[in-house]
Every structure is written in structure tokens, then in C-alpha cells.
Amino acid sequence: MEVESSFDKASLSSENVSVLNHESLINKQSEERSDKDEKFQLKMFPNEDEQMEKAAEEILKDSDKGQKWDIVDGEHLRGDCRQSPEDVSDSQPSMHLLLDPCTTEVLPPGPYSPTVPSEEDSVLFNKLMYLGYMKVTAPRSELEALRAMAALKNSSHSPLSVTLYVPNIPDGSVRIIDQSSSKEIASFPIYKVLFCVRGQNGTPECDCFAFTERSSGPEELQIHVFSCEIKEAVSRILYSFSTAFKRSSKQASDPVKDTIFPTPDSDVFIFNVSLEVREDDGKGNFSPVPKDREKLFFKLKQGVEKKVVITVQQMSNKELAIERCFGMLLSPGRNVKNSDMHLLDMECMGKSNDGKAYVITGMWNPNAPTFLVLNEETPKDKRVYMTVAVDMVVTEVTEPVRFLLETLVRVYPANERFWYFSRKTYTETFYMRLKQCEGKSHANAGDAIYEVMSLHRESEEELVSSSSGGDQISPQEDDAEEESDNELSSGTGDVSKDCPEKILYSWGELLGRWHSNLGVRPKGLSSLVKSGIPEALRAEVWQLLAGCHDNQTMLEKYRILITKESPQESVITRDIHRTFPAHDYFKDTGGDGQESLYKICKAYSVYDEEIGYCQGHSFLVAVLLLHMPEEQAFCVLVKIMYDYGLRDLYKNNLEDLRSKFYQLERLMQEQLPDLYGHFLELNLEAHMYASQWFLTLFTAKFPLCMVFHIIDLLLCEGLNVIFNVALALLKTSKEDLLQADFEGALKFFRVQLPKRYRAEENARRLMEQACNVKVPTKKLKKYEREYQMMRENQLQQEDPLDRYKKENRRLQEASMRLEQENDDLAHELVTSKIALRNDLDQAEDKADVLNKELLLTKQKLVETEEEKRKQEEETAQLKEIFRKQLEKAESEIKKTTAIIAEYKQICSQLSSRLEKQQTASKEELEVVKGKVMACKHCSEIFSKEGTLKTPAVPSESRGVETDDEKDALKKQLREMELDLAQTKLQLVEAKCKIQELEHQRGTLMSEIQAAKNSWFSKTLNSIKTATGTQPPPPQQQPPPPPPVPSSPKEGST
């Protein structure tokens, strides 16, 4: 069951708050900065039966500040009390207002522009009856206002059907429009509305409300009275007035506005300077960035190129001529020094289309390192300041004029989508005081020349003050307490894991006894738990206290539940990012912490179909996940919901929760009577501050060190521990609460109270005091019976028709809500179907493309395989060819080697033969010499050296014999020389042939080695040439062996 988000429709009752005083609101609000007024939490309820239906949504509203009061603009207002602007013109029967002329007056219809104000400027309410107005003397007297209301109610027989416009901008007006003619009856600036009041319950004026105004003068005070067909809508109307008062409070208290009233002839010139930031939408256009509807800060996207547009428009006095802008500067932060400002690239500048303003546009690249602060995702509870300035050259002013704007921004991820936002530009009003320079005038036109004396901004103190008009003075720094209004984020605080050895020893002994007998809690457990369970033992002790330490059945069931679909998945997903954003385990989107949190919440919504997922469960689940795995955390959650009775608070239209509130108030009446009486005076009821305490067990706002200790006590003692902690909180804060008014008390509960216990020591003291608070069970049961009897009496006294009307109204609202959810689901279904159809079409197109690519790939594969087969065949052929060539080369090498060996052998034989022949020749020569010398005849002819002697014979005979012998010897000598020359020649030829064969052998070996290393790579480049088309080169025949020369002996013979 999802808790109804009915706190969005905050309502008022005469029993709670019946009066809204404009000036008192202004006085309170002027003390604080408007950008820190987080929420105007004026919570009021029309009747007791519907009060608690509106309680549970507050749990997460405080966690999501940016969305809490979106209803100010009327987004969630249901019923007939509000219509669209187009419905204003619907024709209705004409009605005449008949009033007592002595006491009442009717405002004459005035001219009304057909242009209906947009929803950005006003909240409009239809089906109101204008009863008239009358003069009053005490505009802030509730008693006189009620008397006037009763008088007009009784005297008005035909009230006028009107539409009421309540502004939601500071300078707006309350407007009364006749529905039948769409004419404006009256219009009052919101700052002139002094007082609002509603009729008391139980009187005929319970459906009426009125406001007093001072429009004509300080002494002419009038009260205007209205009635509403839907009584509950009165609360919504008064809430809109309170919001309008709050927004106009700052403007009403602005000292600059109160002191500067320029006239056309004065020396004050007023300028309206507006700032607009535009972002690239990815389609070639730049769209204005949205702004928060309540805080009015810019919502920027991370890493997206931006344009900054500043519009300067003079509003009063003699028009000054703006020549140009010579610089637009931007910087993160506020109170920025001039040296820290960064110049932007100018895109364009010039007058607007209507010629009334001067527009400057600059390009901003957020990815630059200087703008890192403005390009990082901002934490959810934080915002950052941005300062933009333009230096304008004004013809009549001696020095450039700088208009400086400071605004809040928040940076979101680039894929963030914004649903509720405003697109209004950020505008500041500047008051510039000029002084005419004596003796100076413009050369061309004769205009006076001025210098700037001061430049004021409407929302700040004086920014520029200089006799020359050019120097900048930074505003004074804000109070150090500026951040004091920020609420404490859930999941804040560190928990110490240190524990004294004595306590650990006590726990170890106790757990040993407990594990030996799991069916009975050991003695001394309660006293140890009151001091706090050691952080290291919490997972085990919590499971033992809850009785699910070994629940295998539930563990198996959880594994099945997480696989099922839940109808509340969208709500769970929305709440996940708001749970413990300050804790590292849960702050990452899509991280392990958020994933486990989502699984458990989804599984429980399927497990408990009657209750389902309720807003606030996620905080309790997060606390459990910080101590144990998700399966065990789910088991403990189920035990707390069922066995400890937490789920009962959500049943029967939150009836048990109302009973708890009654019990708490009765305990306060008994133990804190003075605080109880103060709350009665303020109409501050328990459900306004204690809803989160009961529904989330204090886990939503308080620091973790305190939350863990509360869960310790709850699992040990039961759900009634909440009363102990609540009373302890009220007792410790009693003095502060007694001094607070209604708004101050609510703000204290929301902001200051949780911050007090960030220190672990403070939380420990509070829990000690809570353990000492006595809350008897008998008294709680007694108070519960009292509440039941009171409810029965109320039901008996209530008119059945009213009860049925309320029930019918509640059912209608539920029906409208369900119809809206059904429409949303139908829209989502249609959108998802269209998206799926588009995805399917894209997938089919992609499949066709892939099929075509597959066919082409298969064809290429076949071709490649065929080519591969051919290449393999060619490679095999080449291998065979080269194998044969290699074999031939090897055989040739063998033959060449054999030939060389033979030639060597022949040469050696020839050498040996030559030597033998030479030796034989020498021996024969010696023999011949011996014989010659032995012959007496020959010895006389030859000497011992072998030379021829000349005998002493007659010259004639001696000459004849000598000539014959000489000729014979010379002939023999020539033959021997010829044989020797032939032998030497053959030897030389043999050596040459051997060298040639050695050279051929080396060449062949080199070729064979090169062929072995690169034959395959060379053949791939010349496959066809190498397939055998060319004949092999002719083999080189070895030369024939040289003829064996004959010995000299043989030659001589």
C-alpha cells in the first residue's frame, strides 16, 4: 500500500491556524535570507477524520527539498476548486448581489483585460461565491472579521460566482474576476493585503474566508468575504495566501526600495537587468534552462555547452544611450574578486526587437577548467553560487558601468529530466545615481556627461560607490550562520566501532549462553542492550533478537520474491535515490547499495500484498543493509513489520497511527504539562512533528549513531520504545520549544533537533535518558481505550450524510488517483509498445543488413578457399620442382667434387712424374758425363763442367767435326727443352683448371644456400615463370683432363 501523498494538499482549520497576518510574516521573514527559507510549512487540517491520511507523505518530502512544495503552483490540487485558465471564460448564469445598503457595498465591475494570467504568475480558484465587502476599523482583529463575515453571509442571498487569483510572484496582485462576464471586479497588490481569516467550524461561516486590504489609503480598510462550495478548499486558498505573503516579504522589507523613489527629473536611473542561461539541446538549438519553482535557482546540466544572455533595460528617468558591451564575465561563487572573473566569448550584442532593451549574448564552455565547480554534479541538499557581470559603455557616462548578478545554480547529470520547473528569467533591479560633470558635454549632441556616484542592487547593499564611478566594491559577507537552516541529510554521522574489552567480554559470554539455548533470551540482555550493542556484533544480535538467525525458509522465499514483478516498482525506484544520500554506500546511482535496497523493497511489496511498499520503508531497510546481507536484512524487516506490529500503523486508514499520536499527547499532558499547554496554544498537534518518528522509527532524519541505538532498543523492548525516545527528545528540547511559535517549532523539529545529536556523546546521553523515562504499558492501553471510545463517540455524533459525503469524496479522490495512475500506465504501455515496435523494426532492418553481409562473407570465403587450394597446388608443384633442382644441384656438386679430386690426383701424378723425369734426366746426364769423361777422346773435347774444349787440331778437320757434334747436341738439347716446356705448360693449365673448378664449386654452393633460404618467397612472386615453362640452364661440362705429357725420356726416344 502506498501512503497517499496528501500532505501536498496542506489544509487549515480554525482549530489549528485560523489567522494569517501579513505584516507578522514579513517581520519574521525579513530576518532570514529568502533563498534559505526552505519551506513555508504551515500545516493545517480541516477535520479530524482526514488528518492522518495526510501524514505519511511528510516522510520523504523533507528528503526531497526541491519537490516538497511544488503544490504552490497548484500542480497537485484536485477537485473543483481550481481550473485551467481556459475555464475562466465558461459562461455561467448571471447572478446579482443583494446586500444591505447600510452595512455593505459592492465593488463596481472594472475593465478586465482578456489576457488571463499564466499559471506561472497566479494560482486561481473557481466556484467561489463573493459575498461582498465592508469597511472595518480594526483590520487585524479576528473577532471583528468574524462578525463582518457573519453579517455578509446572512445578508447575501444571491452571491456572485467569481474566480480568485492569488499571486505567486512578489509583486503580484490578488484579483477577483466575475465568472459570468470575465470582468475584473477588483485587484489588490499582495503587499496591501493585511490579514486573512476563515470561519469557525460548527458555524454557518465554516465554508467562508475573508481578507482585509488597504488599497485606497491608510485609513480606508475593507474586508472582502467569500464562501466556497468545497469547504476543504478554504485551507488550500489560505495556504496560497501564506505563500504569497512569504514571497513578498523580502521585497516589502528591502531598504533600497524603501529609500529610493526616483522621479523623472532626479539623478537616479533604474535599470532592470535579467539573466537567462541557455543550453544546447542536441538539435542545433539553445533552449533556456529551467529554474526551480520554489527556490528559483537555475538547473544546469553537466558538460553541455551554454549561452549566457543578459538583457539591460532602463526603466526610469532620461534615456541613456548604451553604445556597446565590451566584456561579459562569469565566475563560480559569490563576492568574487575582479581578478577571479573569467571573460566569455561574445556572440552578439545589440538592441532588442522592440528597441527598449539592450541584449548581450556570450558563449560559455563549462568544460573549461576554470568553471569546474559549475560543471560538477551538485549534491542533492546543496547549491552553488554563480556570478555574472557585464561592463556597459554608456554614451553619457564617463566610465564603464558594471552590472553584476549573483544567482544560485545546481548542476545535474547530462541525462537528467525535469518535470516541475519554471522558465522565468532571473531579474535584478539596479539603482544608479549619476552626477553631472561640470563643463563637460557630448561633442555631437550637447548632452550632459555624468559620472557614477553609486550603484545599488535591489537585493543587496551598495555594490559600487566611487566618485569616478569605475571601482567595484564586493558586498559584505553573509552571516556565518547562513547554512544553519539546512536540514540534516539522512544517513549522516559516523558510528564508532571501538568498544571496551570488558563490554566485549560480557557480550561474548552472553552470546555463548544464548547460542546454547536459542529459545530463551539470556539474563542480563536488556541491561546490555540499553547501553548499546557493539557495532561489530549488531548484525548477529539483531537477528537473534528478531528470531530470524536461521530462517532458511524465509531466505529461500526471498530469492523467489526478487524474481517477481511488483506493481509499485516505479514508486520504489523514485524513492531509492532519496534514501541515505549522505552515506557512501547508497549515494551512487545504480551502485550496490541502491541495488540491494531496491531488491528488498520490491520483494516486501510482493510479500505483503495488503500493505505493499510504503514510503519510509526504504530508510529502515537501509539501516539493516548497513549491518547484514540483503537476505538477512529482508528477514529482519519482515519480523519488524509483522511481529513488532509496525505494519499495523499503515492499516485501517492509519487508525493505529492516530492512536499512537493520542497516546503521545496524553503522556505529554502527564509528564510535560507546560509543553503540552504551549502546543495547544499553538494548535501544534503530534502528527505534525511525530509522523516520521513512528513510521520510520527515527531513521529518516536523525544521525546513524542514534538510529542504530534506537533499533537496538526496539528489537529488544518492542515498538513502545518510540514513546520513550519521543518523550526524551521533548524533555531535552523543552526550553527551546516553549519559546518558539508555530513556525519556529516546526522548523526546530525539522532542522535543529536532529543536528543536536550528530555527536555520538549527545546521542548516548539522550538514549540514557530515554531508557530512564517511564512509560507504563497499562497507561498506554488505557489511553488506547480512551481513543477508541472517543472515536466511537465522534462517529455516533457525526451526521451520516456528512460521513457518507466524506467517504464519497475520499473514494472520488482515490478513483481520480487510480484513473490518473491508469492513464499513466496506459500511456507508458503505449509508449513502450511504440518503442518496442521501433526497436523491432530497427532490429529487423539490422538483421537484413547482417544477412546480406553474411552472404557476401560466405561468397568471399568460398572464393578465398578456392584461391587457397590453387595456391597450395602451385606450392606443391614448386616444392617438387625445387626438390628436383636441388637433387640435380647436389648431383652436379658430387660430380664436380669428383672431377676436382681427379684433377688434383692427375696434377699430383704429373708433378711426381716431372720430378722423376728431372731426376732421371740428371742421372742420365751424370752418366753421360761420366762416360764422356771416361773416354779419352771425349775428355779431351769436354771439360769437367761439360763445356766443349777446343782441341789443337787443324782448323779444317776440327771445324767439320765440331760442327757435326754441335748440331747433334743442340738438336738433342732443343728436344729436351721442348719436352720440359710442354710439361710446364700442362702443369700450368692443370692448376688453372683446378682454380676454375674451385670457383665454380663455390658459386654453386652459394646458389644452393640462397635457394634454400629464399626459394619459396621468390617463387610466389613469379609463380607462372617458375612452373617449368623455361628450360633449365645447360649444365656446364667439366673440361676434359689434360693429356698426360710424355717424359723427356720418351720424347727423346
865-902: pLDDT as tens digits: 999 999 999 999 999 999 999 999 999 899 888 888 88
Report residue 973's pLDDT band, with 50, 70 and 90 as the boundaries.
confident
Q: Provide the grid cell at 928.
A: 753421360
Q: How far is CA 333 from CA 50, 330, 341, 609, in A?
A: 46, 10, 10, 50
CA–CA distances in Å: residue 233 to residues 6, 82, 211, 817: 13, 9, 16, 18
236-245, 481-490, 1032-1041: least confident range: 1032-1041
Residue 659: left (phi > 0), alpha (psi -120 to 50), or beta? alpha
Closest of 312, 313, 311, 308 to residue 288, by C-alpha: 308
Between 501 and 255, the more confident residue is 501
Task: Measure Cα distances from 210 to 134, 142, 199, 206 in Å.
Answer: 11, 10, 8, 12
Task: pLDDT band for 1014, please (50, 70, 90 cuts).
Answer: low
In sequence order, what are the residues at sequence separation of 6 or more whose Cβ sits closer than 8 angstroms to the Cβ of residue 627?
Answer: 538, 539, 542, 633
Tell me phi and psi for residue 1047, to 5 degrees.
Answer: -70, 160
Helix axes 655-671, 673-682, angle to 10 degrees: 120
Backbone angles phi, psi at 870, to 5 degrees: -60, -45
User: Does residue 113 carry a pLDDT above 80?
Assistant: no
Give per-residue burial for 1006-1021: e unless 16+ CB within 10 Å, then b: eeeeeeeeebeeebee
Segment 586-604 shows an average pLDDT of 89
Q: 132-141, 185-194, 530-539, 949-958 — which one is most confidently predicted on average?
A: 530-539
- Bridging pattern class, strands 286-288 and 193-198: unpaired
Share of the chain above pLDDT 70, in %: 75
C-alpha–C-alpha distance, residues 975 and 319, integer Å: 143
Asked if residues 723 and 668 have their Cβ atoms less than 8 Å apart, the reply is no
Q: Report the candidate in 695, 696, 492 with the shortest Cα–Cα distance to residue 580.
A: 492
What was the pLDDT predicted at 167?
86
* Mean pLDDT computed over 600-611: 91
Q: Retrieve residue 261's grid coordinates.
A: 523613489
**The C-alpha cell of 447 is what?**
548632452
Q: Which amino acid would we find at residue 631?
A: E
Q: Is the pLDDT of residue 771 over 60?
A: yes
Q: CA separation (Å) from 223 to 717, 718, 725?
A: 57, 54, 47
Q: Is the pLDDT confidence value at 956 over 80?
A: no
List Cα–Cα distances, 890 to 3, 887, 1000, 1003, 1035, in angstroms: 100, 5, 14, 13, 13
Q: Which residues are within 8 A (CB) of 1047 and not within 5 positions of it... i.e. 6 or more apart?
A: 913, 916, 917, 920, 979
Among 22-36, 350-364, 543-557, which is the least confidently predicted range? 22-36
Which ranges constitute the DSSP H helices of 935-954? Answer: 936-941
How far apart, in whole angstroms, are the C-alpha atoms of residue 535 and residue 495? 8
Cα radius of gyration rounded to whole Å, the chain: 56
Choice among 64-73, 138-147, 335-344, 561-570 with the minimum mean pLDDT: 64-73
Range 374-394 burial, b when 16+ CB lie within 10 A, else e:
bbeebebbebbbbbbbbbbeb
Amino acid making up residue 778: K
281-290, 524-533, 953-962, range with the lowest pLDDT: 953-962
Question: Counting Cβ atoms within 10 Å, is residue 851 exposed (0-12), middle (13-18) or buried (19+)?
Answer: exposed
Q: Which three cell numbers stand for residue 357?
A: 532593451
pLDDT at 311 over 90: yes
Q: Nine-digit cell at 349?
A: 550584442
Which range (4-13, 250-259, 316-325, 788-797) has the least confidence?
Answer: 4-13
The model's confidence at residue 293, banded by pLDDT at 50, 70 and 90, is low
Of these ranges, 60-64, 98-102, 471-475, the one predicted with the greatest mean pLDDT is 60-64
**pLDDT tier for residue 114 given thresholds of 50, 70 and 90:** very low
Q: Which amino acid is at 715?
A: L
In sequence order, what are the beta bridge partners of 313? Answer: 272, 357
- Comparing C-alpha atoms, which of 199, 211, 230, 235 is closest to residue 12? 235
> How many Å apart are CA 670 and CA 692, to the nearest integer?
23
Which amino acid, residue 986?
A: Q
CA distances from 979 to 93, 106, 754, 1042, 1048 (A): 161, 167, 136, 15, 6
d(CA 1041, CA 1023): 41
C-alpha span between 758 and 64 (Å, rounded): 21
What pLDDT is recorded for position 60?
39
If we measure between CA atoms, which residue out of 54, 22, 13, 15 comes closest to residue 235?
A: 13
pLDDT at 946: 60
The type of residue at 260 is: I
State the pLDDT at residue 952.
53
Please tell me the predicted confidence (pLDDT) of residue 118: 47
pLDDT, average across residues 261-272 = 66
Here the cell at position 212 is 482585509
pTM, two decimal places: 0.40
Answer yes or no: is pLDDT of 437 > 90.
no
74 — pLDDT class (breaks 50, 70, 90): very low
Q: Where are the extended beta strands (E) located within 355-425? A: 357-364, 384-394, 401-412
Please give the distance of CA 1022 from its chain centroid, rounded to a whole number.
Answer: 64
C-alpha cell, 645: 506490529
**What pLDDT does 1040 receive?**
52
Confidence band, pLDDT 50/70/90 cuts, at residue 927: confident
